[in-house]
Amino acid sequence: MKPKKKIFFINAVIAFYSLFNGHRNKAALSKDLEFKRIAIYSTTALGDLLFNTPAIKAIKKRYPQAKILFVTSQKNSALVKGSPWFDEVEVWDNKVKNMHRLLKKLWAFKPEITFILHANIYYDVLCAKLSGSTYIVRDNFAQDPTHLNRWLDHYSRSEDTHIIQRKLNTLACLGCDTTDISMAFPLAIPALPKPADRRRIGFQMGASKPDRCWPVEYFAELATLILAADPQTEIVLTGAGQDSGLARDFLALLPNALHPQVTSLIGKTSLTELIQQITTFTLLVTGDTGPLHLAITARTPTLSLYVGANPRHTGPYQDPHLHKTLRIEPEAGDDKALPLRKISAESVFAQIQSLLNR
pLDDT tens sequence across 14-23? 999 988 887 7
Q: What is the pLDDT of residue 129?
A: 96
Looking at residue 236, its pLDDT comes to: 98
**How does pLDDT run across 178-193, given as a tens digit for each residue?**
999 999 999 999 999 9
Interatomic CA distance for residues 30 and 80, integer angstroms:
29
C-alpha 17 chain-centroid distance: 33
CA 123, distance to chain mean position in Å, is 20
pLDDT surpassing 90 at residue 59: yes
Alpha-carbon distance of 102 to 90, in angstroms, equals 7
Report the distance separating Cα 215 and Cα 138, nearest Å: 37
Beta strands in 210-252 (DSSP E): 234-238
Taking alpha carbons only, the member of 12, 41, 22 closest to residue 140 is 41
The pLDDT, as a whole number, for residue 151 is 95
pLDDT for res 5:
87
Residue type, 277: Q
Residue 241 Ramachandran class (φ > 0 left, ψ -120 to 50 alpha, else beta): alpha
* Residue range 263-276, pLDDT digits in tens: 999 999 999 999 99
Q: Residue 3: what pLDDT?
A: 77
For residue 143, pLDDT over 90 is answered with no
Give all domains of the chain, ordered by start, each with its CATH number. 29-174 (3.40.50.2000), 199-357 (3.40.50.2000)
Q: Which residues are bridge partners to 326 per DSSP?
A: 305
Residue closest to 170 by CA, chosen among 105, 244, 120, 116: 116
Query: How distant, in Å, are the alpha carbons of 2, 55, 241, 245, 274 from that of 267?
Result: 37, 31, 4, 11, 10
Quick check: 285 and 348 in contact, CB under 8 A?
yes
Mean pLDDT of 208-233: 94
Of 9-13, 54-58, 170-174, the least confident: 9-13
pLDDT tens digits for 295-337? 999 999 999 999 878 899 999 999 999 999 999 887 777 777 8
Confidence (pLDDT) at 210: 86
Residue 75's pLDDT band, with cuts at 50, 70 and 90, is very high
Q: Is 153's pLDDT higher than 90?
A: yes
- Coil, helix or strand at residue 248: helix
Q: What mean pLDDT do residues 90-95 have?
A: 95
Q: Is the pLDDT of residue 41 over 90?
A: yes
- pLDDT above 90: residue 161: yes
What SS3 class is residue 117? strand
The pLDDT value recorded for residue 209 is: 85
Residue 25 has pLDDT above 90, yes or no: no
% the chain with pLDDT above 70: 99
The pLDDT score that the predictor gives to residue 333 is 74
